[in-house]
């Protein structure tokens, strides 16, 4: 009997199209799930007879309680080489090997600019008006050239975002708890003296920090209050870095010009959630990593990981 492999959150139903799974023929039967399992009970039921799971990013938690309910599970493949929602100790205790894949930082860089430009030029509002026979030109775009772009984080995503900002002729500043003057000089941006200074002086603020104890809730009500009423906030990093209630309040009360958000506390975002209808918000359903090249890498390397595991020599092991 072949082993059973479940691919989770294959919303676009492309997992078996964007990679060659034929090397596993006869040994592994692949089942793709195009809907999200909302709770552990539903997930455990769906995976009860599964030996291998391929999970996408950090959407599906794998705590100790879930591993205990999946006695057949032997291999868990996660896209990317970092996953904060897998209990690695529990995986080891239950005899489950965990492997990752490569992941490009280019797609989230590009989406950051898609959101920023969409906000600045009112793309969605103007397009919707045009397609519905609405008013011709009813927004006034915000300029980028000469304006200040403030980046929270100057790592593998923040740095190329900065380079694009400089190409637009923006004045780019950056801040993080570990950012040095040397690193800022390498990228060619200003080192902000403090988080408060960056927020208060920037026309556009974009978040590119890893989520951790020091960054969770970093932008709360007080920090968001520092933003100019004409400023825009973009978050393609992690939702928990920005206080979601405080952001909703700032948008609803018109205390900032707008926000572009790709990440949410709960994903998929529940129907009727306030983020779905908030004013001044350009929101996308966590598309930062969703590109053809990234998916080809994720699923192509998932196949490689499964083959290596079956051969007794797992690769790209996590953590």
Q: Any idea which residues carry the catalytic annotation?
A: 238, 267, 286
Strand ordering across the sheet containing 3-7 = 28-32, 3-7, 52-55, 75-78, 97-99
CA dist 292 and 18 (Å) reads 8
Distances (CA, A) of 294 to 8, 55, 101, 228, 298: 16, 14, 10, 36, 6
For 48-92, what is the HEC assignment?
CCCCEEEECCCCCCECHHHHHCCCCCCEEEECCCCCCCECHHHHH
CB 185 within 8 A of CB 236: no
CB 78 within 8 A of CB 55: yes
The total number of residues shown for the chain amounts to 319
Q: How does strand 148-152 pair with strand 258-261? A: unpaired
Token pair recorded at residue 44: 């455990």
CB 127 within 8 A of CB 175: no
- The helix (H) or strand (E) run that includes residue 172 is strand 171-175
DSSP 150: E
């Amino acid at each position: 009997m072949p082993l059973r492999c479940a691919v989770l959150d294959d919303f676009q139903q492309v997992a078996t199209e964007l990679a060659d799974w034929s090397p596993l023929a006869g040994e592994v039967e692949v089942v793709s799930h195009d809907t999200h399992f909302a709770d552990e009970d539903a997930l455990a039921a769906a995976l009860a007879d599964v030996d291998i799971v391929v999970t996408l990013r950090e959407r599906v938690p794998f705590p100790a309680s879930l591993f205990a309910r999946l006695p057949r599970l032997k291999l868990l493949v996660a896209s990317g080489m970092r996953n904060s929602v897998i209990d690695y100790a529990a995986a080891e205790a239950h005899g489950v090997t965990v492997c990752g894949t490569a992941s490009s930082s280019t797609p989230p860089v590009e989406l950051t600019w898609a959101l920023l430009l969409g906000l600045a030029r009112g793309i969605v509002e103007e397009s919707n008006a045009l397609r519905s026979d609405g008013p011709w030109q009813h927004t006034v775009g915000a300029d980028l050239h000469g304006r200040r772009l403030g980046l929270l984080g100057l790592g593998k995503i923040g740095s190329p975002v900065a380079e694009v900002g400089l190409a637009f002729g923006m004045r780019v500043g950056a801040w993080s708890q570990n950012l040095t003057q040397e690193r800022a000089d390498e990228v060619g941006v200003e080192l902000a003296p403090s988080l408060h200074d960056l927020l208060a002086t920037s026309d556009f603020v974009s978040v590119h920090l890893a989520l951790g104890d020091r960054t969770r809730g970093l932008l709360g009500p007080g920090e968001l209050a520092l933003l100019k009423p004409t400023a825009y906030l973009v978050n393609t990093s992690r939702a928990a870095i920005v206080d979601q209630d405080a952001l909703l309040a700032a948008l609803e009360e018109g205390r900032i010009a707008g926000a572009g958000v790709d990440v949410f506390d709960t994903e998929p975002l529940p129907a009727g959630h306030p983020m779905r209808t908030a004013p001044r918000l350009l929101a996308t359903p966590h598309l930062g990593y969703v590109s053809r090249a990234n998916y080809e890498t994720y699923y192509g390397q998932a196949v490689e990981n499964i083959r290596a595991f079956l051969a007794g020599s797992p690769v790209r092991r996590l953590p």
